Amino acid sequence: MIANSTLHAVSILIGLLVILYFLYGPYQALVTDLIRQRLFEIRDSIFDVAADKKLAFDHEAYVKSREWLNFAIQYAHTLTWPRLLFMWLFIRNRRQNEAIAFLKVFEKVQDPEVQKFLKRKLANSFIVVAALIWLRAPLLIVITSLVPFLLITLFISDSIRRAMVRIWEWFKQEMLCEVSARC
């Protein structure tokens, strides 16, 4: 009996190690490559607009768009949520003016359709990079997948909320009984 449970535990451990290897090995490369491909497509569509003479290649909006997309493509393998959090915490004040200037560049585009197109592509690229950061963190995927169910359970279902309060009150009472030994 002990041999069976040991064998079972070893097989579960090996299975978990294989899953972890997949999630932090080939899966990371796959997600990064898929996101890079999407960013290449966005960059190519902006190039096509410039090639059709709707936007000059030396226009500041085109140059800034290319710089941003090239940065995202080049460093896609390093973009993770801890690094994003670090940048947000420590660099946000210094880079705020640069971000505002970056977004104002698109206001200089004369053609409203091209301006709208560039803004939409830029927004798509931000969404793609956010998806990259989310998809590269299996723990984040699990947590964000559970949040809607927890919110629905806790805030919509009044009976479950009351049951949770009763369980909490019972738990506190039991803990008080154990601590004071007066039950």
Q: What is the pTM of this model?
A: 0.70
Taking a C-beta distance cutoff of 8 angstroms, is the pair 71, 64 a contact?
no
In angstroms, the CA 144 to CA 157 distance is 20
> Residue 8: in which H helix or E strand, if any?
helix 2-24
* Per-residue pLDDT tens digits of the chain, which is 183 residues long: 677 888 888 999 999 999 889 888 898 899 999 999 999 999 999 999 999 989 889 989 999 999 999 999 999 888 888 887 777 777 666 666 666 777 788 888 888 898 899 989 998 998 999 888 888 888 888 888 887 887 777 767 777 767 778 888 887 776 666 545 555
Secondary structure (DSSP) of 10-78? HHHHHHHHHHHHHHHTHHHHHHHHHHHHHHHHHHHHHHHHHHTTSS-TT-HHHHHHHHHHHHHHHTGGG
- Of 46, 60, 35, nearest to 127 by C-alpha is 35
In angstroms, the CA 153 to CA 168 distance is 16
